[in-house]
Structures are given as structure tokens and as C-alpha cells.
Amino acid sequence: MSEIITENKRQRTKPDWLKIQIPVGETYAEVKKIVKTHQLHTICEDGKCPNMAECWGAGTATFMILGNICTRSCSFCAVATGRPNEYDLDEPKRVAEAVKLMKVKHCVITSVNRDELKDKGATVWAATIREVKNQNPTVTMETLIPDFKAQWDLLELVVNEKPEVVSHNMETVERLYRIVRPQAKYERSLEQIKRTKELGRRTKSGIMLGLGETEEEVFKAMDDLLAHGCDVLTLGQYLQPTKMHINVAEYIHPDKFKMYKEIGEKKGFHIVESGPMVRSSYHAEKHI
């Protein structure tokens, strides 16, 4: 473990393949206006996503519900950690209205962790899915949900609203969980994916690379996900959002991402999105 921490202290220069497009254009400006007017949060902004220019320019965004302060302190995540404010019961309606105004065909929704709540935010999750579908009956939906602290009745409450894709990210390999996701559990996340599949939903998960994992550990994570019913896998490069977050151990070459994609597909995933700039919701409309 100490070798990883020492390695992470090195300063690294981003390679050319990680250049990020600056957000511009009328569609980007309109999406930004809709998000601001409806007092919504997006993981695109709060998570400092490198694909924001591309996605917002195409008129799509990943909404983040239950506020923008998380109760967990993952070392990779740009979302603020702390004591969240009271959640807004009108938020589901505003999200649904924004989806309608943006005229999206496929909607992606995620949330912060709300471990301090008795229901971990599941009631708001269910209400949001229901309201989006009521106001936008032709829109398909992906929900990127937390682990609900293994309270599986809460998972069932959300999944029973029948979003087309239910995603839950592993984020990293098992060995690095204590550093990268100290308040999460590798086996708990696998169990959630398994239970989601048993409830009849298409399942999806994502892993960041460049945190010090080995190829063998990535292959094992693939096997574990497949054994627990995961249909879609995304693999992307970890990028350090601020100097306060865990450093990049390695910038993975695009050829290696291509290799992981080919192996993942051979192993049995229905879809593998793999590349330096790939994130959870990247090309999400293709994962139905």
C-alpha cells in the first residue's frame, strides 16, 4: 500500500490525448441556463467532468439530485463533502421540467450519498424517476444510484420505478477501496448490482484507471462484475480534480483502453465503453 502512496506523490504531466474541449456554443449556453433557472445540480459541473463541453453542446446533461454536498469523502471525487442541507421536495418536479425543456430522448440522473437520512434519499429518488416519466412518457432513463448502505428494501423502492438502466459504479479495484472509497465496500457494491439484475433491470458499472491498479486486478473486477450480473461496463482515466485529491499514479495509453474493451467484450459484457475520456454517463443513450 505504501508503494502506491509514494508513487502517487509524483507530479505527472497530462499527455496530449487528455486535452479537454472548452465549453462553447449556443446549445451549451441554453443547457446552462435551464440548469440555473431550475436551481438544479449536475455532476457535469460539480464533478468537473471532462466531457461537459461535448454533452452540453449536444443538449444533454446528467442531473444530480439530493443537493450537491455528499456525506462521504471519496479521495477521487470533486463533489463537496460535509453536512448536507435539507433536501428539496420540489426537486423531482423541477428535474422533470428541465428534461422536457431540453427535449432529451435519454435522461441520466445521479445523486450524492445521503447517509444521514433514514431512507438514504431513496424516497426522493423514486419520486424523481416517477415525475420524469410522468412528464416525459417517451424519455428513457439511466439512474446512477448509491449503495443505500445495503438497505436492500430502499434499493427495491427505487428500482421498482423501472428506469431502463440502473448503474452503480465500483470506481476502482478491490485492493484500493480503503484509499479510494473508504466508506464503501467492494462486496456491498457487487451485491447491489446482483440484486438489481434480479429485479429485472439492465445493470451498469464503471471503473477508473490510473490509480495504481494492475491489469490482473482489472480483469478480476471484470470477472466479479460479470458474476454478479453486470451488463454494461465503462472504463475511463482518473483525473485529479484538485491538489487535495488522490494523485494520478499513471496515465493509461489509449491502446491499453482498447485492449481492455476487447477483453471485456470477450468475457461477456454486452457493452464496454473504454477510453481515457470515458465517464459513467458517456454515450449513455447507447446502453439501453
**pLDDT digits over 248-285, tens only?**
999 999 999 999 999 999 999 999 999 998 987 766 67
pLDDT at 57: 46
Q: Above 80 in pLDDT, residue 30?
A: no
Residue 132 lies in a domain: yes
Q: Is 233 helix (H, G, I), strand (E, B) or coil?
A: strand
* pLDDT at residue 47 in the model: 45
State the total domains in the chain. Answer: 1
Query: What string of DSSP letters covers 62-87?
Result: EEEES-SEES---TT--SEES-PPPP
CATH number at residue 86: 3.20.20.70
DSSP conformation class of 235? E
| Distance (Å, whole) CA 42 – CA 63 | 4
Work out the widest C-alpha separation in the chain, in whole angstroms. Answer: 52
Residue 62 has pLDDT above 60, yes or no: yes
pLDDT value at 3 more than 60 = no
Nearest CA to 142 out of 77, 71, 60, 261 is that of 60
pTM of the full structure: 0.84
Residue 103 has pLDDT above 90, yes or no: no
Residue 287 lies in a domain: no
- At 204 the three-state DSSP class reads strand
User: Is there a domain that residue 286 lies in?
Assistant: no
Average pLDDT over all residues of the chain: 85
Phi, psi angle pair for 256, to nearest 5°: -70, -40
Q: Are 233 and 269 in contact (CB under 8 A)?
A: yes
- 230 within some domain: yes
pLDDT tens readout for residues 191-249: 999 999 999 999 999 999 999 999 999 999 999 999 999 999 999 999 998 899 999 99
Distance CA 148, CA 199 (A): 16
* 288, part of any domain: no
Residue range(s) defining the domain that contains residue 210: 2-281
Supply the pLDDT for residue 16.
78
